[in-house]
Chain A
Amino acid sequence: MTRFLHTSDLQLGMTRHFLSEEAQARFSQARIDAVRTLARLAQERGCRFAVVAGDVFESNQLDRRTVARALDAFRAFSVPVYLLPGNHDPLDAASVFRSAAFTSACPPHLHVLDDATPREVEPGVEVVGAPWTSKRPLADLVARACESLASARGAVRVMVAHGAVDVLSPDADDPARIALAAAERALAEERIHYLALGDRHSTTDVGGSGRVRYSGAPEPTDFREVDPGNALVVSLDGGRCEVEAVRVGTWRFDERAYLLDDASHVEHLARELDALPDRERTVLRLSFRGALSLAAHARLEELLARARDVFAGVDLWERHTDLVVRPEDADFAALDVAGFARAALDDLRRTAGGDGDEARTARDALALLVRLAGRRA
């Protein structure tokens, strides 16, 4: 039986703009820590080796320190680790894998799958990669790698690849899509025994064989990921293939949409946010719809300000936000203004009733007026 660890999409060096500098530093650290967690997992489960199916790095152009820290973390592995260049870190002329920062600090058990030649991990076990050599390959790299493969002749052979599988990708025009049928044929012909895929950050079992899988990213990177934060422990034993998804992620990307039509909705939102766990490692993306009075909107602003202090990040998804601030009589009932001030108020309210920036500014001005008047009262 051969057991190994399958992971991918570490995206080391990734920056998220909705994180503050402080949160970004923790986010980056979490991803470095993930490497050590994976190393520990591999040891605990008796894995013979580990494969990283592409996008080890967020980019080819990374700060030296980022590369150095990543390599330092990989030292935690006690078994060979095979890194595959993916679409983010392709093996092009500027490849990070060929940079001085990498080659000078690469530990001996760390291998880059820089061609499609099978490599023997140990007698009877081979790893073969389908590395990306540019950001836009013009062919199915898996199919091409399989074509040149002879039968494994009794050895267990794991292919490591990166990219979208045709049955999952909606983009039919992408020439680099991995044809599942061809891969399954190679499996059936026992030229390969497992296809370890990367690129999709959600853990996914592709097709019916159970031997074509996306491990998903070990730490989430975005809101739209379905099931990130896992690594796969794969055991191949004769005709059997057992795969266990192990949770390793510590961060959450949480996307929420709310309908806000009165003050009670805002309070509901406040309660919901308060109930979320691991808030300092949670990144929120919020979108709102509805219409709020000045007072309710002021409350919402206050709430968000507090959330920004507590959560790792709060991103307002403006594209999906359609929140109208509608000044109401009640907003001004308490205001003790008369004469020209009253006339000015009426004027602003008229403008605020319209659309566009002018109306928005008028609403802001009204909110300010309410705030100033309230402070005086």
Chain B
Amino acid sequence: MKLHRVTLRNYRGVEERSVTFAPRGVTVVAGPNEIGKSSVAEALDLLLDQLDSSKRKDVRDVQPVHRDAGAEVEAEIEAGPYRFTYRKRWHRRPETELTVHAPRRENHTGREAHERVLALLGETVDLELWRALRIRQGAELALPQLAGRASLAQALDAAAGQSQADAHTLSIVDAARAEFERWHTPGGKPRKELTDLADAVTSLEQEHAQVAEALRRLDDAVARSRAAAARRAELRRRLADDEARATEAAARQREMERRARDVEVLAAQADAAESQRDAVRRERAQRGHLAEALEQRRRELDAARDAARAAPAAESAATALRAADEALAAARTRLEVADAVLAVREGDAEFRRDELDQQQLGERLARVRDADAAAADAAETLARVRVDEEALRALREAERHVTDARIRAESGSAEVHVAAARDVVVRTGDTEDALAGGSETTRHVLDELVVDAPGVVRVTVRPGGSAAGLRETLRDADAAFRALLARHGCADVRDAEVQIAQRQEAERALARRDDIVRNDLRDLTRETLAHKLERVAARVAAYGAERAKVAGADELPADFDAAQEAFATARRARDAAAVALEDARRAQQAARDDVERHGLAAAKARALVEAAERAATDAVRALEALRAAESDDALAARSERLEAAARDARAAADAAQAQLVSERPDDVARAAHGAAAAVAATRDELRGVEDEALRLATLLDELGQQGLAERLDTLAARLHRARHQRDAAQRAAQAAKLLHDTLVAHRDAARRAYVAPLRERVRRLGAVVFGADFDVELSDELAIASRSLGNVTVPFESLSGGAREQLGLVLRVAAAQLVSDDGGVPLLLDDALGYSDAARLEALGAVLALAGERCQVIVLTCMPERYRHVAGARHVRLDG
């Protein structure tokens, strides 16, 4: 289809304007906005769609404002074999006129013309699709969300409707969707209203099942209760029977037990009889044994008597013993005598030794005592003497000093010679000497010397000055000497020398005493020595008297050696006597042994005889005692009787036992036990049944109070209604879903019918722009999903803006070509490239030029310079 020319008259602001389009290639129609480049497209829509009588708003809108005239549109169109001029006028003197030029001339007016055009186009063009494309031709190519995809999908939806009532059809789809979504989520899942209804059913079913189960349990309990009652009655009957049987069996068992006891008594009686029989048997045997024993005893007695008579005489042995006794006594006397002699000789030797000891001990003690006395004196001396060799030297020195001082003083002093006529007192210092008349004295005046002759004269001589110093020296020396003497306890130096000699003598005496003590005391003390001496002395003194008492005391040996000699001789004699005594004792023992041996043999023989006599006597006595109690004949008779009694009793017991056994007492006992066990078992069972009955009664009590049947009925009614509601809702939901799904499925199928050819055309057109390895993928919505170049596939959204615009344009062109077979329908682009930059415009220009090679492209724009790049474009101005 080609649009050759459009003419507008009195159309909006346009008085009259005619545009001629290039039949092939791109026509760029330029015009200011207010005149409306889009008016061309709009006018074309009105011409084709609206009757001249239409009062629609879009028709009213194009009415010229300042002119009293009807708007008019005229177009010259080629479609397939047809070429025609079509004109409509609205508002004023409406008119429709069609002139078909080819292939056959036709003229139509009015409604008929309108219909004819639709028929002509219908033959050659997919009007619906074209209309859809036209509706959205103002949209941007590169924004597929708004333009390329959504608008095309909607356009194709409408086209797929294939009906005038497309909007209505779509509204049905919407209503069906609303209905569908009332019950389902857009994803197709049931909504809460549906699930609630189903849940209500489920929950009621559960509750119903629970109550039904409870009721079933109750019914079951009722049935079991009934069964239990029946069973209880039966068991009670059975128990009565069992008890009767058990009583009978027990009685029979007791009878058997009594019989068994009788048998036992009989057996005991038989045992007793046999026991008596055995006793008498033993008695008879014993009596026989006794008679035999008596004979034996008698034989033994005879033998013993024979043996006793055969024993030898023991007289010679007794005589020998007496001789031995006498010899032994003599030997013993001789030994006693020897012992006495030996004792005397020993005493003598002892005495002589004591004498010697007494002498020695006395001497030792005297020596010790003397030494002790000397030592005591020495000790005294030592205690008294205070001077020693050293002190002696000091004394001699001090004495020499005094002498020296005296010599010097006397030589330096006056010497006074007093010759007393009468008694005077000469006083020198403190010394006062009475000088008897007639005597004289000379004195050195060393100190004040007074010669006093009382009543006569008192002469006082005082030493001179130099003498005084000498006198002092002398006095000092003398004082020192005297002090030293006093200290050592000496009168003068001579005395000191004597004292030292005494001291040395004393020390020697002490040393001597120690020697004596060591030698004479040895290990003894002075007391023990003295004691020892006393004892020895006492023994010596006593011995004479003692010895005199000994009978036959002979001469005392003269000295210790003689005493020793006598003692040795006495010892030898005594030893000989002891040996002789021992020999005599052995001989006497041998004799005694002989006597004893002979005596024993005789006694044994005698004892044997006596024993044999006693045994024989006992045997006789025992036998006689027995016979006295019961004669042999009586015993025999008794024995015979008891034998018979035992035989009879045993026979009776055995018979009773056999009888008892034949009646099978064990079986009777078992039967009794069995009957008792049956009673117990029945009782147990009855108790069990009674327990069960009680349990069931409790359960029934519990369940029976709940009004289960009524609840079940109520629940069943509710469940019935709930199911009904659920089913109705589900049915409605299913219907809504089916309707919706069916509608959508058909709609999608209709869409898909476009996909294949559209893609093919897009590919062919795109290959020119993008190269031979170009390919695209279209969605069911007829949008471009992705573009491929060789192996590289890129989603549409990820493509550059330019590529998207190019693809959008290609898609448009392809869609336009789909509309009709003869190269498509005119592609009306309303300033389509308004968003493209200069560089992109250039590329799109190429696409447009390419599109123009195949179909008619009309670009409406107010900026024609944008399309400078479109090679071979025809530029038309709308306003000029």
Proximity bits, B704-720, A CB within 8 Å = 1, else 0: 11111111111011111
Given contacts A15-B717, A364-B734, contact A376 B168 (CB under 8 A): yes
Q: Within 8 Å CB of A364, what residues of B?
A: 731-732, 734-735, 738
Given contacts A15-B714, A93-B222, contact A344 B704 (CB under 8 A): no
At the interface, yes or no: A94 with Cβ under 8 Å from chain B? yes
State the CA gap A52–B707 with chains docked (Å): 22
Name the contact of A94 in the complex, choosing from B161, B222, B716, B738 (C-beta under 8 A): B222
At the interface, yes or no: B745 with Cβ under 8 Å from chain A? yes
State the CA gap A14–B175 with chains docked (Å): 46
State the CA gap A131–B222 with chains docked (Å): 17
Within 8 A of B (CB), among A1-59: 13-21, 24, 58-59
B727 to chain A minimum Cβ distance, whole angstroms, is 11
In the complex, what residue of chain A is closest to B224 when comparing beta carbons?
A93
A68 to chain B minimum Cβ distance, whole angstroms, is 11
B742 to chain A minimum Cβ distance, whole angstroms, is 4
At the interface, yes or no: A150 with Cβ under 8 Å from chain B? no
Proximity bits, A78-113, B CB within 8 Å = 1, else 0: 000000000000001110000111000000000000
Q: Within 8 Å CB of A13, what residues of B?
A: 709-710, 713
Q: Within 8 Å CB of B226, what residues of A?
A: 92-93, 134
At the interface, yes or no: A347 with Cβ under 8 Å from chain B? yes
Q: Within 8 Å CB of B14, what residues of A?
A: none
Given contacts A15-B714, A93-B222, contact A344 B743 (CB under 8 A): yes
A368 to B721, Cβ gap below 8 A?
A: no
Q: Within 8 Å CB of B143, what residues of A?
A: none
State the CA gap A340–B743 with chains docked (Å): 7
Segment of B92-100, B265-273, B746-754 in the binding face: B746-754
At the interface, yes or no: A369 with Cβ under 8 Å from chain B? yes
Q: Within 8 Å CB of A94, what residues of B?
A: 218, 221-222, 225, 700, 703-704
Within 8 A of A (CB), among B162-210: 162-166, 168-169, 171-173, 175-176, 179
Given contacts A92-B225, A92-B226, A368-B739, contact A339 B710 (CB under 8 A): no
Q: List 24 A-B contacts (CB under 8 A).
A: A13-B709, A16-B717, A62-B709, A93-B226, A94-B704, A134-B222, A336-B168, A337-B163, A338-B169, A339-B161, A339-B163, A339-B166, A339-B169, A340-B162, A340-B169, A341-B163, A341-B169, A344-B747, A348-B739, A348-B742, A364-B732, A364-B734, A368-B735, A372-B739
At the interface, yes or no: B160 with Cβ under 8 Å from chain A? yes
A376 to B171, Cβ gap below 8 A?
A: yes
At the interface, yes or no: B736 with Cβ under 8 Å from chain A? yes
Proximity bits, B790-825, A CB within 8 Å = 1, else 0: 000000000000000000000000000000000000
State the CA gap A116–B750 with chains docked (Å): 84
In the complex, what residue of chain A is closest to B178 when comparing beta carbons?
A372
Q: Which 10 A-B pairs have the closest CB atoms?
A: A338-B163, A364-B735, A59-B709, A15-B713, A339-B161, A63-B707, A93-B225, A61-B709, A339-B162, A17-B717
Given contacts A338-B161, A365-B742, contact A62 B707 (CB under 8 A): yes
A365 to B739, Cβ gap below 8 A?
A: yes
At the interface, yes or no: A117 with Cβ under 8 Å from chain B? no
In the complex, what residue of chain B is closest to A346 when comparing beta carbons?
B746
Name the contact of A368 in the complex, choosing from B162, B718, B736 (C-beta under 8 A): B736
Q: Within 8 Å CB of B696, what residues of A?
A: 93
A172 to chain B minimum Cβ distance, whole angstroms, is 25
Q: Within 8 Å CB of B704, what residues of A?
A: 60-61, 94, 99
State the CA gap A376–B172 with chains docked (Å): 8
In the complex, what residue of chain A is closest to B164 when comparing beta carbons?
A338
In the complex, what residue of chain A is closest to B225 when comparing beta carbons?
A93
Given contacts A63-B707, A93-B225, A336-B165, contact A361 B716 (CB under 8 A): no
Proximity bits, B214-226, A CB within 8 Å = 1, else 0: 0100100110011
Q: Within 8 Å CB of B161, what residues of A?
A: 338-341
At the interface, yes or no: A235 with Cβ under 8 Å from chain B? no
At the interface, yes or no: A181 with Cβ under 8 Å from chain B? no
B716 to A17, Cβ gap below 8 A?
A: yes
State the CA gap A16–B716 with chains docked (Å): 9
Chain A residues within CB distance 8 Å of chain B: 13-21, 24, 58-64, 66, 92-94, 99-101, 134, 336-344, 347-348, 360-362, 364-369, 372-373, 375-376
Query: How many residues on the B side are at the interface (Cβ–Cβ under 8 A)?
Result: 57
State the CA gap A341–B742 with chains docked (Å): 9
In the complex, what residue of chain A is closest to B730 when comparing beta carbons?
A361
At the interface, yes or no: B697 with Cβ under 8 Å from chain A? yes
State the CA gap A346–B96 with chains docked (Å): 38
State the CA gap A146–B712 with chains docked (Å): 37
State the CA gap A336–B338 with chains docked (Å): 190
Within 8 A of A (CB), among B680-729: 696-697, 700, 703-714, 716-721
Q: Within 8 Å CB of A14, what residues of B?
A: 713
State the CA gap A342–B169 with chains docked (Å): 9
State the CA gap A339–B166 with chains docked (Å): 8
A337 to B165, Cβ gap below 8 A?
A: yes
Given contacts A62-B709, A339-B162, contact A369 B176 (CB under 8 A): yes
B742 to A347, Cβ gap below 8 A?
A: yes
A339 to B716, Cβ gap below 8 A?
A: no
Name the contact of B172 in the complex, choosing from A21, A134, A341, A362 (C-beta under 8 A): A341
Q: Within 8 Å CB of A368, what residues of B?
A: 176, 179, 732, 735-736, 739
Q: Looking at chain B's contact residues, is the secondary structure mostly helix, strand, loop, or mixed?
A: helix
Q: Within 8 Å CB of B743, what residues of A?
A: 340-341, 344
State the CA gap A376–B167 with chains docked (Å): 11
A19 to B717, Cβ gap below 8 A?
A: yes
A362 to B738, Cβ gap below 8 A?
A: yes
A365 to B172, Cβ gap below 8 A?
A: no
In the complex, what residue of chain B is closest to A338 when comparing beta carbons?
B163
State the CA gap A347–B747 with chains docked (Å): 13
Give the most central of B169, B716, B732, B745: most A CB within 10 Å: B169
Q: Within 8 Å CB of A344, what residues of B?
A: 739, 742-743, 745-747
A221 to chain B minimum Cβ distance, whole angstroms, is 12
In the complex, what residue of chain A is closest to B751 when comparing beta carbons?
A340
Within 8 A of A (CB), among B727-774: 731-732, 734-736, 738-739, 742-743, 745-747, 749-750
B157 to chain A minimum Cβ distance, whole angstroms, is 9
A69 to chain B minimum Cβ distance, whole angstroms, is 12
Give the most central of A14, A100, A376: most B CB within 10 Å: A376
B184 to chain A minimum Cβ distance, whole angstroms, is 14
Given contacts A17-B720, A93-B222, A94-B221, contact A372 B709 (CB under 8 A): no
A62 to B746, Cβ gap below 8 A?
A: no
Q: Within 8 Å CB of B221, what residues of A?
A: 93-94
B716 to A15, Cβ gap below 8 A?
A: yes
State the CA gap A92–B230 with chains docked (Å): 13
State the CA gap A373–B179 with chains docked (Å): 12
Q: Within 8 Å CB of A343, what residues of B?
A: 746, 749-750
In the complex, what residue of chain B is closest to A361 when comparing beta carbons?
B734
A365 to B700, Cβ gap below 8 A?
A: no
Q: Within 8 Å CB of A20, what residues of B?
A: 721
A342 to B163, Cβ gap below 8 A?
A: yes
B39 to chain A minimum Cβ distance, whole angstroms, is 31
Q: Within 8 Å CB of A337, what residues of B?
A: 163, 165, 168-169, 172
Given contacts A60-B704, A347-B746, contact A66 B710 (CB under 8 A): yes
Q: Within 8 Å CB of A24, what residues of B?
A: 714, 717
A263 to chain B minimum Cβ distance, whole angstroms, is 22
A340 to B735, Cβ gap below 8 A?
A: no
A339 to B750, Cβ gap below 8 A?
A: yes
Give the most central of A14, A15, A360: most B CB within 10 Å: A15
State the CA gap A361–B727 with chains docked (Å): 12
Give the most central of B171, B696, B735, B747: most A CB within 10 Å: B735
B731 to A361, Cβ gap below 8 A?
A: yes
Name the contact of A63 in the complex, choosing from B225, B711, B719 (C-beta under 8 A): B711
Given contacts A344-B742, A348-B742, contact A338 B162 (CB under 8 A): yes
A340 to B707, Cβ gap below 8 A?
A: no
Q: Within 8 Å CB of A342, what residues of B?
A: 163
State the CA gap A172–B859 with chains docked (Å): 98
